[in-house]
Amino acid sequence: MRASWDIFCNVIDNYGDIGVAWRLARGLASEHGLAVRLWVDDLHAFQRIWPAVDPDAETQRCAGVDVCAWRTPFADVAPAHVVIEAFGCALPDSYLEAMASQSLPPAWINLEYLSAESWVAAHHGLPSPHPRLPLTKYFFFPGYTPETGGLLIEPGLPACRDAFRHGATTPFWRQLGLEPPMPDELRVSLFAYENPALPALLDAWAAEARPLTCLVPEGRVIPQLKAWLKEPDLQAGDVAERGALRLRILPFSDQDAYDRLLWACDLNFVRGEDSCVRAQAAARPLVWQAYPQAGRAHWDKLDALLARYADGLDRDVAQAVGDLWRGWNGVPGAPTLAHSWSAWRCRQGGIDAHARAWAAHLGTLGRLTDTLVDFAENKIK
Ligand code: TRH
């Protein structure tokens, strides 16, 4: 009998918690044929990234996963064989007691945030005994080396991406209300947190010699765009033009359609965790905005990913990538956005080629679904 899995997700803010939990749940069900229940405390946030979700249903089946509303008091259910708490969300007390009362306690795993930092490998898989109950929780770290849990990239992604690029981009653009790009046009997607560097980037884009279309899913940067454009209102479907720049606001889409946007664009600005991995797997250049953290810890995360991403790159290409990423993240000492954008443009050919090579390299690292299944099955043997 294959093990049953419970994944718990507490939505704190943004879409990263539910984005990762949902991608993991779907992957475990579709790639490994596992019985997966996903417990989510905010089905409205979930519905934003997966519109088929009914926010009022207590239980529902979506993409082969049993989606359950996580309520207080918690439902009286038997624990699964494997229990994943996403990002340290505390499990309900009654569920923990039920886990402890099993003759063979479940494998209990805390899925941590992704980081390219080197300390991750040393912490991956470490146990933490419960202070009172006969249970041990294990820390599971996604990461960029074989000593970590790997990345959430499904095995079929490269083939789907390449098939899309070879035949489906024109209908995709038309669905968004756009013609396919002109030969000298650059298409950029922009998914970002509020960012003091945004006006300087928009100025640089407006001053481009060639047309640049920027596609912005509805979200946290809209107030800044309104201020820069001096437009009182901006909604999905709206288009604004300033110099060479055409800005188009997109409705927030489901996770799979967002992947297609990343595949279709020449450059993707992404943020947080999941969109960053998906943009890398898109085999196109990216600019990453790390989730801002207290004590500027996100700058260490940024440098760690940059160090891996730019390893072995031609010096000028690495500099152009690093300067734009650091400037976008407000790292002190980074050149101005105007300067780093123009340097990035000059090196674009090398950056494009690297993005393809990097995506292929990611395919040689471990896949999170596989490493997690191996890890959990070892614990319940
Ligand atoms: O939304 P985020 O900023 O999430 C963040 C980070 O994960 C951060 O590390 C975490 O600490 C914080 O949340 C709580 O960025 P992220 O991780 O890229 O998640 C966005 C999800 O939304 C991702 O799964 C892709 C999805 N998405 C869509 O489904 N449709 C869209 O149109 C867009 C723009 C995104």
Could you read off the pLDDT of 324-349 as tens digits, one per residue? 999 999 999 999 999 999 999 999 99
CATH number at residue 63: 3.40.50
Instruction: Give the pairing type, strands 136-140 and 127-129.
Output: antiparallel
Is any atom of ligand 1 closer than 6 Å to the C-beta of 169?
no
What distance in angstroms lies between residue 325's CA and the mean position of ligand 1's atoms? 18
Residues 10, 130, single domain; the answer is yes
The answer to whether residues 143 and 218 belong to one domain is: no
Only one residue has tokens 């690292």, namely: 365
Cα 349 from Cα 155, distance rounded (Å): 28
- For the stretch 235-278, pLDDT in tens is 999 999 999 999 999 999 999 999 999 999 999 999 999 999 99
Q: Is the CB of 274 under 6 A from ligand 1?
A: yes
d(CA 262, CA 285): 10
Atom of ligand 1 nearest to the CA of 250: 32
Structural domain of 351 = 157-362
Query: Looking at ligand 1, which atom is closest to the CA of residue 270?
Result: 18
Q: Are 352 and 276 members of one domain?
A: yes
Q: Ligand 1: distance of its center to the CA of 2 in Å?
A: 31
CA distances, 136 to each of 105, 272, 368 (Å): 9, 29, 21
From the CA of 87, give the closest atom in ligand 1. Answer: 11
- Position in ligand 1 atom list of the atom nearest CA 219: 34
CA 277 – ligand 1 centroid, Å: 10
Question: Do 245 and 135 sit in the same domain of this protein?
Answer: no
What is the rounded radius of gyration, in angstroms, for the C-alpha atoms of the chain? 22
Look up residue 346 and give its amino acid: C
State how beta strands 245-250 and 239-242 pair.
Answer: antiparallel
Q: Is residue 81 within 8 Å of residue 2, measured between CB atoms?
A: no
pTM: 0.98
**129 CA from centroid of ligand 1 (Å):** 31
Do residues 290 and 171 share a domain? yes
Torsion of CA 296, 301, 303, 305, to 10 degrees: -160
Q: Give the count of domains, the chain.
A: 2
CATH label of the domain that carries residue 265: 3.40.50.2000
> Where in the sequence numbering do the catalytic residues fall?
17, 273
**Gap from CA of 252 to ligand 1 centroid (Å):** 11
Among protein residues, the one with the nearest Cα to ligand 1's atom 30 is 253
pLDDT at 344: 98
Please tell me the residue having the least CA distance from ligand 1 atom 12: 16
Looking only at the bridges linking them, the beta strands covering 267-271 and 186-190 are parallel
- Ligand 1 pocket residue status of 47, Cβ below 6 Å: no
pLDDT digit string, tens, across residues 155-212: 999 999 999 999 999 999 999 999 999 999 999 999 999 999 999 999 999 999 999 9
Is the CB of 252 within 6 Å of ligand 1?
A: yes
Mutate to test the pocket of ligand 1, among 15, 38, 262, 288 (most ligand atoms within 8 A of CB): 15
Q: Quick: pLDDT tens for 2-59.
A: 799 999 999 998 999 999 999 999 999 999 999 999 999 999 999 999 999 999 999 9
Q: How many CA atoms lie within 13 A of 14 on its CB side?
A: 18
- Same domain (yes/no): 97, 239: no
- Predicted local confidence at residue 2, as pLDDT: 75
pLDDT for position 96: 98
Identify the pLDDT of residue 13: 87
pLDDT tens figures, 109-151: 999 999 999 999 999 999 999 999 999 999 999 999 999 999 9
278 and 356 in a common domain? yes
13/120 same-domain check: yes
Neighbours of 30 (CB within 10 A): 17
Which residues neighbour 305 within 8 Å (Cβ) at sequence distance 6 or greater?
Answer: 116, 144, 276, 288
pLDDT at 1: 58
Find out whether 192 and 269 touch, Cβ atoms under 8 Å. yes
Helix (H, G, I), strand (E, B) or coil at 269: strand
Q: What token pair was written down for 165?
A: 């690029």
Interatomic CA distance for residues 104 and 286, integer angstroms? 45
* DSSP code string of 168-225: THHHHHHHTT-PPPPTT-EEEEE-----TTHHHHHHHHHT-SS-EEEEEESSTTHHHH
Q: Is the confidence at residue 219, as pLDDT, over 90?
A: yes
Looking at the fold, whether 371 and 325 belong to one and the same domain comes out as no
Residues 32 and 93 in one domain: yes
Distances (CA, A) of 245 to 176, 289, 296: 17, 21, 32
Per-residue model confidence as pLDDT tens digits over 78-104: 999 999 999 999 999 999 999 999 999
Name beta bridge partners: 289: 271
* Same domain? 8 vs 81: yes
Q: Which of 108, 33, 20 lies closest to 65, judged by CA?
A: 33
In this prediction, residue 381 carries a pLDDT of 77
* Residue keyed to tokens 């990097």: 358
Report which protein residue has its CA nearest ligand 1's atom 15.
272
Q: Residue 25 has what pLDDT?
A: 98
Rounded distance from Cα 48 to ligand 1 centre (Å) = 11
* Per-residue pLDDT, 380: 86
Q: Domain check: are 130 and 168 in the same one?
A: no
Percent of the chain with pLDDT over 90: 97
Task: Dump pLDDT digits (tens) for 308-328.
Answer: 999 999 999 999 999 999 999
